[in-house]
């Protein structure tokens, strides 16, 4: 029951994040690049809970992002990207408390991995929008923008994931 | 939830990666018959579309503060402006139609003449795809309830914006003409020459279009106006809608056709109110209409060829390249 409630809370968080990203933060775009709020949620999940939980959250959040309008690309690409981000960041997370510097590094790494995997799957599938030139422009911009927005988003989400954590943590 | 056993962890990762790859594979094979993922996509749109609309309407007053200070008079003026825009837009569409009539080869479109005018559903852009997704698509707050169907033409006061690729009850997704996947049949108004306008796939700003002319002996000049050529049944693009003007011309001996850079009239960096031409429902049923009824992305036409229905029939332009054709 409580597990279901926790899952529901994460689901609400994901929906709110996706909505914010496509409807509100889209007006804050720099060169078309919008801060990747969903990615920040996945990274925060990885920092708090580790690779398995983050991979699950990444899969769910990525799938919603894949299917929510105005997404028009092949579905499953964000899901794959965020599973990998969640898992890798979860493995790479430092022991003990989450430090500020580490958070920035993890977000930068996550943004790089996520956008790159997404671009790569696009290249493999022959998505005409994905060109190497576009990827070289978009990926660094995404990393920078995500790092910039980190202080405003990640602490809140980290707090929320801590709240949602079962007490009987090993 | 937190398996300590690394084997369990690896199994979970493997499962999730496999699930993602399965979804990608299923969806990548979509064609005119649709994709198995479509029901999921439609369901997500049906839930998230209205949420996005609500979020956008909440955010709009804040975003709009610099534009007008919430004064009722200003709002009224804004409304009047929109009305004027709408009227001008309809005017333009009729003018485009009239132009088309003047050209003798297109006389057979008598169906259009009998109509009083296109009916336009007004809609607001409520969500914009990020550059990270490498597409130029937006969500608008009009859906099947307003008569919006896939493959309808989307315009704004300046010119052609794009076409509807999917629609749910209250929202619809518009693929902008500057997207890399978009191809529009275009016509130079000066010489009536036909060409194909493909989106350059710029992920930001106003974006550009590349015009390749069918007849390589004709050379476009900077400043030439390009309008839509029109497709069979008016879907996905109605004829005579202003698209943009030629800014520069390239010709290389290696290429058979001349290509020109076209700057679209619509400003894709600041799309706000758009109009969706919904009157195409009155067209006689065709493969397009059938697709439109089934209500989702399968309506993306791939390669409808010219219809051999008599000499005067305009060739059909497909709205999109087949997937994976690349550039």
pLDDT tens readout for residues B113-160: 333 366 777 888 888 888 888 888 899 888 888 888 888 888 887 788
Compute the average pLDDT of residues A62-86. 91
Cβ separation A73–B134 shorter than 8 A: yes
Residue B84 contacts A, CB cutoff 8 Å: no
Shortest CA gap B290–chain A (Å): 21
Interchain CB distance below 8 Å, B48 and A68: yes
Distance CA B298, CA B296 (A): 6
B134/A31 touch (CB, cutoff 8 Å), yes or no: no
More confident residue, B315 or B36: B36
- Convert the pLDDT of each residue in B243-254 to its tens digit: 888 888 887 666
Complex prediction ipTM: 0.85
Burial class (CB in 10 A: 0-12, 13-18, 19+), A85: buried
Q: B110 in contact with A at a CB cutoff of 8 Å?
A: no
Shortest distance, CA A6 to any CA of chain B (angstroms) = 12
Quick: pLDDT tens for B27-77: 887 766 677 888 888 888 888 888 888 888 887 766 655 554 445 666 677
Predicted confidence (pLDDT) at residue B2 exceeds the cutoff of 80: no
pLDDT recorded at residue B106: 34
3 state DSSP class of A109: helix
| Percent of chain A residues past pLDDT 90, beyond the cut | 52
Chain A residues with CB-CB distance to B13 below 8 A? 51-52, 55, 83, 87
Q: Are A143 and A108 in contact (CB under 8 A)?
A: yes
What is the average pLDDT across B230-255?
78
3-state helix, strand, coil in chain A (%, to 5): 75, 0, 20
pTM of the model: 0.70
Asked if B139's CB is within 8 angstroms of A19's CB, the reply is no
A147 burial type by CB count under 10 A (0-12 exposed, 13-18 middle, 19+ buried): middle
Q: Which residue has the higher pLDDT, B289 or A148?
A: A148
Size of interface A-B (CB pairs under 8 A): 220
């Amino acid at each position: 029951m409580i597990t279901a409630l926790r899952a529901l809370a994460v689901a609400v968080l994901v929906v709110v994040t996706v909505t914010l990203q496509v409807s509100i933060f889209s007006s804050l775009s720099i060169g078309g690049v919008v801060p990747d709020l969903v990615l920040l949620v996945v990274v925060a999940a990885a920092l708090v809970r580790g690779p398995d939980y983050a991979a699950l959250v990444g899969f769910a959040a990525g799938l919603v992002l894949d299917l929510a309008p105005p997404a028009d690309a092949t579905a499953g690409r964000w899901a794959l990207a965020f599973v990998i981000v969640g898992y890798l960041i979860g493995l790479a997370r430092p022991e003990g408390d989450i430090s500020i510097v580490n958070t920035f590094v993890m977000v930068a790494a996550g943004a790089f991995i996520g956008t790159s995997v997404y671009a790569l799957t696009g290249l493999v599938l022959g998505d005409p929008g994905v060109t190497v030139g576009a990827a070289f422009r978009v990926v660094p911009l995404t990393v920078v923008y995500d790092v910039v927005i980190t202080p405003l988003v990640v602490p809140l989400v980290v707090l929320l994931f801590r709240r949602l954590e079962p007490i009987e943590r090993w | 939830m937190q398996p300590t056993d690394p084997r369990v962890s690896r199994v979970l990762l493997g499962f999730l990666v496999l699930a993602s790859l399965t979804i990608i594979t299923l969806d990548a094979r979509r064609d005119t018959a649709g994709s198995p993922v479509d029901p999921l996509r439609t369901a997500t749109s049906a839930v998230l579309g209205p949420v996005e609309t609500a979020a956008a309407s909440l955010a709009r007053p804040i975003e709009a503060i610099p534009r007008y200070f919430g004064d009722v008079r200003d709002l009224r003026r804004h409304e009047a402006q929109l009305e004027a825009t709408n009227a001008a837009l309809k005017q333009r569409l009729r003018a485009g139609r009239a132009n088309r009539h003047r050209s003798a080869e297109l006389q057979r479109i008598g169906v259009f003449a009998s109509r009083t005018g296109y009916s336009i559903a007004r809609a607001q852009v409520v969500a914009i795809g990020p550059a990270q997704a490498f597409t130029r698509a937006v969500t608008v707050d009009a859906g099947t309830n307003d008569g919006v169907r896939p493959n309808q033409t989307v315009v704004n006061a300046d010119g052609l914006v794009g076409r509807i690729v999917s629609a749910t009850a209250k929202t619809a997704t518009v693929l902008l003409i500057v997207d890399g996947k978009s191809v529009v049949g275009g016509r130079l108004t000066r010489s009536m020459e036909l060409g194909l306008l493909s989106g350059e796939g710029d992920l930001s700003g106003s974006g550009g279009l590349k015009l390749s002319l069918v007849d390589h002996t004709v050379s476009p000049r900077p400043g030439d106006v390009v309008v839509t050529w029109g497709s069979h049944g008016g879907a996905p693009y109605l004829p005579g809608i202003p698209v943009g003007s030629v800014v520069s011309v390239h010709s290389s001996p290696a290429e058979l056709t001349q290509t020109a850079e076209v700057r679209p009239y619509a400003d894709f960096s600041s799309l706000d109110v758009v109009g969706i031409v919904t009157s195409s429902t009155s067209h006689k049923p065709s493969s397009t209409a059938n697709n439109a009824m089934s209500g989702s992305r399968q309506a993306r036409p791939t390669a409808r060829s010219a219809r051999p229905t008599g000499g005067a029939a305009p060739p059909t332009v497909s709205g999109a390249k087949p997937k994976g054709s690349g550039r």
